[in-house]
Amino acid sequence: MIAKSTYSKDDLIACGNGELFGPGNAQLPTDNMLMIDRIAHISSDGNDYGQNEKIA
């Protein structure tokens, strides 16, 4: 899998179905339980507080 910095709603649904990161890896909720419709930016580089940065 190639890490991306943005994910569309289709990507998030694929994650909920176990198709994005492969079997046995993290999955998001699906359907009405999915509380976001996209991830505009995600980075493991961190922010000013030394934490990963996520913008949904």
End-to-end CA distance of the chain: 21
Show pLDDT as tens, one digit a residue, over the chain (56 residues).
Answer: 567 889 999 999 999 999 888 888 888 898 889 998 998 988 877 667 767 777 76
pLDDT at 56: 64
Q: What's the token pair of residue 5?
A: 């910095």
pTM, two decimals, is 0.72
Residue 4 pLDDT: 86
In this prediction, residue 3 carries a pLDDT of 75
